[in-house]
Each structure stands twice: as structure tokens, then as C-alpha cells.
Amino acid sequence: MATSHTGTTFATVPNQSTYQSRVADYWNAEENPVNLELGKVDDLYHHHYGVGEADRSVLDEPDPDKRNERITHELHRLEHAQAELLASHLGELSPADRVFDAGCGRGGGSVVANLRYGCHADGVTLSTKQADFANEQARTRGIGGKVRYHHRNMLDTGFDSGAYAASWNNESTMYVELDLLFAEHARLLRRGGRYVVITGCYNDTYGQASREVSLINAHYICDIHPRSAYFRAMARNRLVPVHVQDLTAATIPYWELRREADHLATGIEDTFLNAYRNGSFQYLLIAADRV
């Protein structure tokens, strides 16, 4: 175990696959405006999408610079609403509790949990760049003593068993095998602890993954799982769903607005919208208790 000058803790990252190394390389090099510009609004950097009705009046702003600024703020409001929604399902937490943010990105989700509950948080990412950035953000906010980010593999963290009251994945499960992931969450959570995931998944009733889902996989270098795989893998790993929420309709306004954001759009927006609308792709929240 070692600690960098930035405070990021390093553990031996298991060599699961060349694929994971390439995912790490991708995020170490990533400088996507749709992640960075939204985070600059209030220094909460999320790496996920948004939910809720969008204020489309921002599109009517005649000044191009102000229009871009208003769109950026509105998209960030929607993605922050998604983070708050996830945090609201983590259960009854106290400032003494610990929570685990698997695939933490630049750290926004752990900050949201700390601000809501006052709890300790450990975020894990394969990207050293993300971990260093997130630790600096926590120090700037004055919460570095309670919120820490680590360069580790979320499939094998090395953290103590049963040490966490809650844990989550926010749009990061498509980068790993679900059984390996849920086994680690079950190990880390105390009995009765809460696990929450928000994820895109393909709809088994549609059949195999659609063309749109395949395009999303290629765009993000990921492997989107079928909806049923989440429930089967949870059952095999002592995680019992207590709440399931289909957020598909709630996320469409985010994508419709992002499609209009020339300064932020990445070209994948229509693919997401088509997949959601044709029923082949869903956006789900699942909360489960560790038994």
C-alpha cells in the first residue's frame, strides 16, 4: 500500500483483463466538456446523466454565449437531481457510517452522500487522474478527512469486510462482470446494508441487444448488461431488491436538451433517444438490502 503526494491511496490493481487497462487509459486521457463544463457550475463533477423535466426555455436565449451557459447549468441541474435521487435511497445513515462509491469518477456522488448524511465515503476508480482530481476537490471543500478517493479496482478493493452501511454504482456496472461486482459489494456491506445502482440496461423482452445498444457499447467501450442479469446476479450474492424504479421516461428530457447543446453534444444523443423510445434500452434504479 502506498500514498501519493496528492493523498490518493494505491493498492495493487488486479490484472483482470487488458480491457480494464484500456478503460483506465480512456479515463486518464478523458477531457470531455460534457463532464468538465457541467462540473464547473458548482465544483460537483458527475459522470452520469440526468433525470426530471428540463427547462427548455434555456433554448430561447438569443445570445449564443448566454444560451450555452444556461444549457450547461440546466443539464447540470438534471444530473445533480439524479445523484440526489440515488443518495435518497441509501437508507438511514449517520455521520459515523461509511459508504462506498464504486466507479466514483471525479467524485461528485461521494460528496453528495457526505453533504446529505455527514457520512464517511470511500470512492474507487481505475483512473489515477480521476482519484487525484477528486481528492483535491474534497480537500478544497474541507471534507478531505471524511471523503477519500482511491486508485483501486472495484472488484477487489482490499477494504475491510462488513465495514460499509451503504454502497452504490452510478452508471459504472457496464464495465465489469456483475457477479464479481456484487460479490464485492456483499462482502463490504454489513448485514442489512443498502446497495443502490442506477444503470442503463438492455430490455430482455425486446430480444438481444439492439443496434442502438451496440452503438452505445462501442462509443463508451463498455458492455451493457440485460435487465434480467442484474436480478439474477443480486440473488446469487445476497442482495435482495427492495425498490425498483424505471427512470427511462425521466431521463429522456436530459437527452433531448443535450442534443441541442452544440458545445456539449458528443454525437451519441440520438442513439440514446432512439433506444429509449423503441423500448430496447432502459434506465433503471435498483435498491437492494444485503442479507
What are 149-187's pLDDT values in tens digits? 999 999 999 999 999 999 999 999 999 999 999 999 999
At residue 56, does pLDDT exceed 80?
yes
Give the three-class secondary structure for 286.
Answer: strand
Instruction: Give residue-wise pLDDT tens across range 93-117.
Output: 999 999 999 999 999 999 999 999 9
> Could you tell me if 264 and 37 are in contact, meaning their C-beta atoms sit under 8 angstroms apart?
yes
Please give the pLDDT value at position 272. Answer: 98
Nearest to 48 by CA among 250, 190, 150, 200: 200
Q: Name the residue with higher pLDDT: 34 or 208.
A: 208
At residue 42, does pLDDT exceed 70?
yes
DSSP calls for 15-46:
---HHHHHHHHHHHH---HHHHHHHTTTT---
> Could you tell me if 170 and 198 are in contact, meaning their C-beta atoms sit under 8 angstroms apart?
yes
Q: Quick one: DSSP state of residue 160?
A: P
> Could you tell me if 122 and 189 are in contact, meaning their C-beta atoms sit under 8 angstroms apart?
no
Please give the pLDDT value at position 16. Answer: 57
pLDDT band at 6 (very low <50, low <70, confident <90, very high): low
> Could you tell me if 229 and 267 are in contact, meaning their C-beta atoms sit under 8 angstroms apart?
no
> Could you tell me if 127 and 28 are in contact, meaning their C-beta atoms sit under 8 angstroms apart?
yes
Residue 43 zone, left/alpha/beta (φ > 0; ψ -120 to 50; rest): left
- Interatomic CA distance for residues 83 and 92, integer angstroms: 17
Please give the pLDDT value at position 5. Answer: 47
Distances 92 to 96, 97, 142, 194, 239 between C-alpha atoms, Å: 12, 10, 24, 9, 18
Tell me which amino acid residue 137 is.
Answer: Q
pLDDT band at 26 (very low <50, low <70, confident <90, very high): confident
- CATH level 2 (architecture), domain 18-290: 3-Layer(aba) Sandwich (3.40)
Strands (E), 33-175: 98-102, 120-125, 147-151, 164-170
Helix 128-141 × helix 108-117 angle, to 10°: 30
At residue 7, does pLDDT exceed 70?
no
Give the three-class secondary structure for 205.
Answer: helix
Sheet holding 98-102, edge to edge: 2-3, 9-10, 147-151, 120-125, 98-102, 164-170, 189-202, 281-290, 239-246
